[in-house]
Structure 1
Amino acid sequence: MSNGKDAAPPLWLYDFISPFSYLLLEQHDQWPGVPFELTPISLYGLYRHWGQRPGYEVPQRRIFTFRYALFRAEQLGIPFKMPPAHPFDSTKALLLATAAQGDLACTRAIFRFIWREGRDPSTDEGFADLCQYAGVPDGERLIALEETKAQLQRNGEEAIRLGIFGVPTFRFNDQLFWGEDALPMVLYCARTPNWLESKEVKRISTLPFGDMP
């Protein structure tokens, strides 16, 4: 890693159900100047694999998460409007983005439909409106293709193989950077890749488990 170059294509993995994925993509002009592959995955698939409990099932965490997303949006000057209910089924939106093959404009439009316009993409009416909003009038046909479904499945399987546990996540220089607030760390490591090879970073990265009560 000392040469600062990725050993594998840099990825940005996301799910439209995540407001923090939306906020991070809205800061795309601040990302490191490398061609990240925009990769849609199912957050629920990660939860199932790793045995995690969705945060929205914990009442006070749910409230804090929504408040913090709004706070971050206001601090960043990013328009933000929650969809009418959360969680919602993001499958159709993920399939539409998969069919778009990582197109930035389409991905951004889908996020904005949900988190700027405050719309639900899971209903028949909502998805039809989303397809028009994103400029993909044949979206229903595209998401029904077996190859589209298979590609989204492959995305999820590859994410698990890479150890992805949440979204949004950058995979850069074979390392994972999770969360909207990890952008400064991504930028720092892009400029100073040897930091991840420092003695203390290596020590805490292999810290043993202690005893739990």
Structure 2
Amino acid sequence: MKQVEFFFDVGSPYSYLAYHQLPKIAQAKGADIVWRPMLLGGVFQATGNSSPATIPAKGRYSNVDLERWAKHFGVPIQQNPHFPINTLQLMRGAVGMQLRSDAEFHRYLAAIFSAMFEHPRNLGDLQELAAVLEAAGISPALMLELVQDDRIKQTLRKTTEEAVARGVFGAPTFFVGDEMFWGQDRLHFVEAALA
């Protein structure tokens, strides 16, 4: 079975766009997606990279670019006024849900991505996060338990280190075999590699 690895962070708007597009591509090409939640902040730290938002002109351009891509993909997007949000707990949550079950993982991702980029909420605020989780049928108490679990912390750390070791410097990043593709604007190359 063909597969594509998807390294992402829920704080990355371009990961959000890829999250909506990649499943369509994988399905059309008969490929599996290997979901690889990583900590983008850790990747930035290890590689000396930084968010486009840290450069004012690039940040302004990125907002226009995101709207163009969202329109191109037919996906809703809104700027989250609470940015930047530290995604450490959110990404530990993603790893924890993934270790529990596919269904819970995908329900979690849908809720978090939506609250980040469709109906922006302050996910750095624990009460806001709890409300988003509850609305998605996910127990906030379970989330709290997961983000404190050492195995989950280690798994996120290892995936982030593996990403850096394999050349990842930003999100989203895809691998088809050893071939790396960075950015939702390279999805046509991912599609070609899967063909």
Q: Which TM-score band applies after superposition, normalised by the shorter structure?
A: 0.7 to 0.9
Mapped to 2, the partners of 1:76 and 1:88 lie a distance apart of 25
**Which one has a larger percent helix, Structure 1 or Structure 2?**
2
Which of the residues 39, 48, 53 maps onto 2:45? 48
1:57–1:188 Cα change, 3 Å = same
Once the two structures are superposed, residues 92-117 of structure 1 have per-residue CA deviations (whole angstroms, 9 ceiling, x without a partner) of: 21111110116333223221121111
AA aligned to 2:123 is P
Once the two structures are superposed, residues 160-180 of structure 1 have per-residue CA deviations (whole angstroms, 9 ceiling, x without a partner) of: 121111110111121111101
Mapped to 1, the partners of 2:151 and 2:165 lie a distance apart of 21
AA aligned to 2:124 is S
Contact 2:89 2:147 in 1 (8 A): yes
Return structure 1 stretches of 4+ with deviation > 4 angstroms: none
What are the ranges of 5 or more consecutive residues in structure 2 without an aligned counterpart?
none
Contact 1:168 1:178 in 2 (8 A): yes
Aligned to 1:119: 121
Aligned to 1:97: 94
Contact 2:31 2:194 in 1 (8 A): no
AA aligned to 1:100 is M
Mapped to 2, the partners of 1:54 and 1:43 lie a distance apart of 9
Mapped to 2, the partners of 1:74 and 1:10 lie a distance apart of 25
Normalising by structure 2, we get a TM-score of 0.87
- RMSD of aligned residue pairs (Cα, Å): 1.8
- The yes-or-no answer on 1:21 pairing with 2:15 is yes
Task: Please report how far the alpha carbon of residue 23 of structure 1 lies from its aligned counterpart in structure 2 after TM superposition.
Answer: 0.8
Task: Please report how far the alpha carbon of residue 146 of structure 1 lies from its aligned counterpart in structure 2 after TM superposition.
Answer: 1.5
Partner of 1:70, secondary structure, is helix
1:143–1:134 Cα change, 3 Å = farther
Aligned to 1:11: 5
Instruction: Map 1:72-83 to 2 at 5 A.
Output: 72-83=69-80
Aligned to 1:59: 56
Mapped to 1, the partners of 2:138 and 2:169 lie a distance apart of 30
Once the two structures are superposed, residues 120-152 of structure 1 have per-residue CA deviations (whole angstroms, 9 ceiling, x without a partner) of: 211111221232244320211211211111111
Mapped to 2, the partners of 1:69 and 1:153 lie a distance apart of 28
Aligned to 1:87: 84
1:157–1:133 Cα change, 3 Å = farther
Mapped to 2, the partners of 1:114 and 1:173 lie a distance apart of 30
Aligned to 1:135: 137
Instruction: Map 1:136-151 to 2 at 5 A.
Output: 136-137=138-139, 138-151=142-155
Mapped to 1, the partners of 2:37 and 2:108 lie a distance apart of 12
Partner of 2:32, secondary structure, is coil
What are the ranges of 5 or more consecutive residues in structure 1 without an aligned counterpart?
192-213
